[in-house]
A = this chain, B = another copy of it.
Amino acid sequence: MTVLEQMGVNAKAAARTLLTAGELKNKALLAIADALVENAGEIIAANELDLTAARENGTRAALIDRLTLTQARIEGMAEGVRQVAALPDPVGKVLDGSVRPNGLKIEKVRVPLGVIAIIYEARPNVTSDAAALCLKSGNAVILRGGKEAINSNKCIADIMRAAVEKAGLPKDCIALVEDTSRASSVELMQLTDYVDVLIPRGGAGLIKSVVENSKVPVIETGAGNCHVYVDKTADIDMAVSIINNAKTSRPSVCNAIETILVHKDIAEKALPAIKAKLDEKDVTLRCCERSAAILDGVESACEDDWYTEYGDYILAVKVVDSIDEAIAHIAKYSTGHSEAIVTESYKAAQKFTDEVDSAAVYVNASTRFTDGGEFGLGAEIGIATQKLHARGPMGLNELTSMKFIIRGDGQIR
């Protein structure tokens, strides 16, 4: 039996204990939060090893920043765990129920998924964040973080495992894969006997690789090629404000926009106003022929631009003849994350929300709101861009399954 298989066996056994752990889960979460703060010095020392290696490898500053843990950041991680503890327990909720004509009482109840594996990159805060969400929803978790954060992750995982055990649950509710080679990631994707669901968290490359190679069912998260469509009836000031916010408030995140589609009847007025605002943040515009004819000092867009998630201060711009053309463009190029229409027309708003098939469809608001916290889900493990099981921001409910419980008094069929 390989190290990972043994980890799978242990996680599955721990998951059975978690089925009926009830309030012990919260006790364990609070113990984790306390232990993270108490052992902050140890975590910072381990993190220093990762930071030294990163600096020696010439890692760029943005990545080093994500990797860095400070006293304040560790307290933030602990606070995040406490917030998860304070959320209502999703397990056991009766989702539906009926009494059948033969007297069978049928209930559909929420249960944990079982064992969840998370493959992620170099953000050590994900280690406590993901573990807390999985534990709260009654799942054992196998964490497989990036090699850049391995010393930090090992230290955090050890602290969490000890805290879970002290609270009276099996320490194998949380496990960390210490082998950060590609092989361990590949093996995890084949562990169908032990792992119920695999959730990749990270960049597009990581997610694509997991989706294509995993035999374990995957919840796909993250990629966001999002659009704002400026309808011919749009309030131009509102369009400018929404586009500016959706592009420039945080360009690197998945709910930022990458392309705007502007109705031809409003393009001559709207485009210069939009450009003037975006110029304040030096946003590069990649324009179709018709928008380039209206604007000065812009680049030309090619077919690839419509597909690209820039994650940067770049925005593709296209003039469209109709709302139908806008919807068709989104259907073709979007990753199905978040799209918005800016319009004063009731009919256009209805049409857009009916016909655009993305996880979040907005009327007159910024796509930047696609987020578990903003949607009131309390916490978020990621944003699903697929259609099975979960779509959009995933909270604790999305980390659960359900089962039917049927109570009878001897019924046969």
Binding site for B on A (CB under 8 A): 16, 19-20, 98, 100, 104, 106, 111, 113-114, 196-197, 211-212, 215, 217-219, 235, 238, 241-242, 244-246, 249, 331, 349, 353-355, 357-366, 368-370, 374-376, 386-389, 391-392, 401-413
State the CA gap A114–B215 with chains docked (Å).
23
- A111-B357, A391-B401 are contacts. A369–B217 as well, Cβ < 8 Å? no
Q: How far apart are A299's CB and chain B's nearest CB, in angstroms?
A: 26
Q: CB-nearest residue of chain B relative to A99?
A: B376
- A100-B374, A242-B412 are contacts. A16–B391 as well, Cβ < 8 Å? no
Q: CB-nearest residue of chain B relative to A387?
A: B401
* A404 B389 Cβ-Cβ under 8 A: no
* B386 A391 Cβ-Cβ under 8 A: no
State the CA gap A412–B407 with chains docked (Å).
50
Q: CB-nearest residue of chain B relative to A369?
A: B413
Q: Lowest 9 CB-CB distances: which A-B pairs, in order?
A: A365-B408, A245-B412, A387-B401, A389-B389, A368-B413, A365-B411, A388-B389, A238-B410, A360-B404
Number of copies: 2
Q: CB-nearest residue of chain B relative to A20?
A: B354
Q: How far apart are A109's CB and chain B's nearest CB, in angstroms?
A: 9
In the complex, chain B residues whose CB is within 8 Å of the CB of A20: 354-355
In the complex, chain B residues whose CB is within 8 Å of the CB of A212: 215
Query: Can you show 12 pairs from A to B with CB atoms below 8 A apart?
Result: A19-B355, A113-B387, A113-B388, A196-B387, A353-B405, A360-B403, A360-B405, A361-B406, A362-B406, A364-B411, A365-B410, A391-B402
In the complex, chain B residues whose CB is within 8 Å of the CB of A410: 235, 238, 241-242, 364-365
In the complex, chain B residues whose CB is within 8 Å of the CB of A196: 387-388
State the CA gap A98–B374 with chains docked (Å).
11
Additional pairs, 9, CB under 8 Å, beyond known A104-B374, A357-B403: A16-B357, A19-B354, A20-B354, A106-B375, A359-B403, A360-B405, A362-B407, A365-B412, A391-B403
Q: CB-nearest residue of chain B relative to A402?
A: B391
Q: How far apart are A114's CB and chain B's nearest CB, in angstroms?
A: 6
The one of B19, B249, B361 in contact with A413, judged by C-beta atoms closer than 8 angstroms, is B249
* B331 A369 Cβ-Cβ under 8 A: no
- A331-B16, A389-B388, A413-B369 are contacts. A407–B217 as well, Cβ < 8 Å? no
State the CA gap A235–B219 with chains docked (Å).
44
